[in-house]
Amino acid sequence: MRGVFLDRDGVINDDVDLLHKAEQLRLLPGVARAIRRLNQRGLPVVIATNQSVIARGMITPSKLASIHRHLRWLLALRGARIDAIFYCPFHEDADVAFYRQASADRKPRPGMLKKAARLLSLDLPRCFVVGDRTTDIEAGRRAGCTTILVRTGCAGLDARFAVKPDGICNDLPEAVQWILRRIA
């Protein structure tokens, strides 16, 4: 089965430095409609996001769950649905000792994508990854997905990896158009 993986910050919502409160969530223009279009086509929509705010001790996993409930609520108000959210709380330089480790889930590693694929019966080579950072694109490439870099958020300027996405779009609505043209 096909699916669409989305990074969160900079793709769905404004890229706020270390988002740690639900009040900081601001959907980017056209995002809810774009996700709704994927929902209408029967494509599972999965968020895969690194969350170093937990490793830094700024929030707990339960607080992150509250933020994600708020995000889902904001989208639901506009008729859009996220099917699953995967996050990685680990970071090699974490302030909280428990989270100080390398993780197969932390992008650019593809662990979250592979885990989601197993749990949701997704066929990774038929899936799409939409991100605003080269770490997103590298994770998608390592998982064998089609990758799309959007020019919102970081817009690939992190330049951590010399990766070439399969597509470059201005924002998520344009990326969804790009995806839907290819699966028509």
Q: Which residues are known catalytic residues?
A: 7, 9
Q: Are strands 167-169 and 128-131 parallel, antiparallel or unpaired?
A: unpaired
In whole angstroms, give the CA distance from residue 167 to residue 104: 25
Q: Which residues contact 108 (CB under 8 A, 6 or more apart)?
A: 134, 135, 136, 138, 139, 142, 160, 161
Strands 146-150 and 128-131: parallel
Q: Report CA dihedral (103, 124, 87, 106) to the nearest 10 degrees.
A: 30
Residues 152 and 53: their CA atoms lie apart, in Å, by: 21
